[in-house]
């Protein structure tokens, strides 16, 4: 939601990045204020997922230009774990499986690590159990999930719910949801979206990275951005998503080219 006098949470300016020598981001600008929900849409290969991984600090991407500030702090100076502790959360498109590590232990370790760095109290196993079970209700998750190995044998929907559960626990300032809707059936999508909506508040912000408009029926964005070739080339309100759904992405590129061509 857009609030009056909200603070800038994330400010991305002229961000350029390479992977294996190929330029993927070519001057990306984005400003996100607290309380807002942004959707970044775009065709495959436009750089959406790259952008979300760069925000989280993935080392495979080399930032070659531009700045990324989170609440006045230079995010690019921070290691991935420092970003997480500072309040960045990335829900992965493909969460990893960790056979051999019990989910409850994993969740408690991450929670306590982040809490400690934020100067807050750790929870012992019993306290944590109460805490996490409460959060699981938000996502209609069966408590059995706690006893299984992390994501091992989870369905696509279960993995995504486990991601949002972590978001609920870690209470990020900025949550980036990378293709969270992919591979979800309509029921799972509704549950996940409902969880995200309940986590959204006036102090945090959510960036949805998605290829399809479908998710935006359930999580209504304040802004929709269209990415193409490593830049945001159009920004609009939630109605832009409907237009993209019916008309595809090509027209945005054509319009953008005409506009920039005219400017030049």
Partner 1 sequence: MSTSATVNAGGYLENLLAGQPHLPASPLAWLNVLRAEAVDRVGALTVPTLRDEEWRFTDISQLTKMSFHPVRATISLQVADIERFYIEEATTRLVFVDGVYAPQLSSNVSGIGVAVVNLEAGFAAHAAAIEPYLGRLTGFRDNVFAALNTAFLHDAALIVVPRDVEVAVPVHLLFIATQKDVVSYPRCLFLAESGSAVTVIEDYVSLQEDAYFTNAVTEIALIDNARVNHIRVQREGAKAFHIANCAVSLARASNYQSVSVAFGARISRYNLNVQLAEGAECAVDGLALISGRQLADTHTCIDHAQPQAASNQSHKCIVGGSAHAVFNGKVVVRQGAQRTDSKQSNRNLLLTSKAHVDTKPQLEIFADDVKCTHGATIGQLDDEEVFYLRSRGLSDTAARNMLTYAFGAEIIERIPISSLKYQLEQTVLEQTTVQL
Binding site for partner 1 (CB under 8 A): 56-60, 79-81, 83-85, 89-90, 92, 95-96, 98-101, 106, 109-110, 113-114, 117, 149, 166, 170
What pairs with residue 150 in β-bridges? 98
165: alpha, beta or left, given left = phi > 0 and alpha = psi -120 to 50? alpha
Closest contact distance (angstroms) between CB of 101 and partner 1 is 5
Q: Between 107 and 216, whose beta carbon lies closer to partner 1?
A: 107
* Between 89 and 249, CB nearer to partner 1: 89
CB 21 to partner 1: min, Å: 18
Q: Which two tokens stand for residue 76?
A: 């690019």
What pairing do the DSSP bridges indicate for beta strands 223-228 and 231-236? antiparallel
- CB nearer to partner 1: give 53 or 231: 53
Which is closer to partner 1, CB of 178 or CB of 222? 178
Q: Are 227 and 59 in contact (CB under 8 A)?
A: no
Helix (H/G/I), strand (E/B), else coil: 150? strand
Beta carbon of residue 182, minimum distance to partner 1 (angstroms, whole number): 17
Q: Choose between 27 and 183: whose C-beta lies nearer to partner 1.
A: 183
**CB 147 → partner 1: shortest distance, Å?**
12
Distance CA 201, CA 7 (A): 13
Shorter beta-carbon distance to partner 1: residue 87 or 221: 87
Q: How many CA atoms lie within 13 A of 202 on its CB side?
A: 5
41 with 66: CB under 8 angstroms?
no
Taking the complex as a whole, the smallest distance from the CB of residue 238 to partner 1 amounts, in Å, to: 28
Calculate the dihedral angle through the C-alpha atoms of 211, 215, 217, 218, rounding to the nearest 10 degrees: -160
CA distance 34 to 37: 9
Could you tell me the smallest distance in angstroms from the CB atom of residue 123 to partner 1? 14
Residue 89 DSSP one-character state = E
């Amino acid at each position: 939601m857009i609030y009056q006098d909200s603070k800038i949470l994330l400010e991305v300016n002229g961000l350029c990045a390479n992977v294996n020598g190929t330029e993927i981001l070519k001057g990306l600008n984005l400003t996100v204020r607290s309380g807002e929900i942004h959707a970044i849409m775009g065709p495959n290969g436009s750089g959406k997922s790259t952008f979300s991984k760069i925000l989280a600090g993935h080392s495979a991407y080399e930032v070659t230009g531009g700045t990324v500030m989170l609440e006045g702090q230079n995010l690019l100076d921070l290691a991935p774990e420092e970003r997480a502790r500072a309040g960045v959360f990335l829900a992965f498109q493909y969460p990893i499986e960790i056979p051999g590590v019990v989910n409850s232990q994993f969740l408690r370790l991450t929670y306590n690590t982040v809490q400690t760095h934020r100067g807050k109290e750790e929870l012992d196993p019993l306290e944590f159990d109460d805490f996490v079970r409460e959060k699981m209700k938000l996502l209609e998750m069966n408590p059995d999930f706690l006893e299984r190995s992390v994501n091992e044998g989870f369905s696509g929907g279960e993995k995504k719910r486990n991601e949002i559960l972590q978001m609920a626990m870690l209470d990020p300032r900025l949550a980036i949801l990378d293709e969270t809707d992919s591979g979800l059936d309509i029921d799972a999508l509704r549950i996940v979206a409902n969880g995200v909506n309940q986590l959204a508040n006036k102090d945090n912000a959510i960036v949805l990275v998605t290829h399809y408009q479908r998710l935006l029926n359930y999580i209504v964005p304040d802004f929709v951005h269209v990415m193409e070739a490593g830049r945001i080339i159009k920004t609009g309100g939630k109605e832009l998503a409907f237009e993209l759904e019916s008309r595809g992405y090509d027209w945005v590129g054509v319009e953008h080219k005409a506009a920039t061509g005219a400017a030049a």
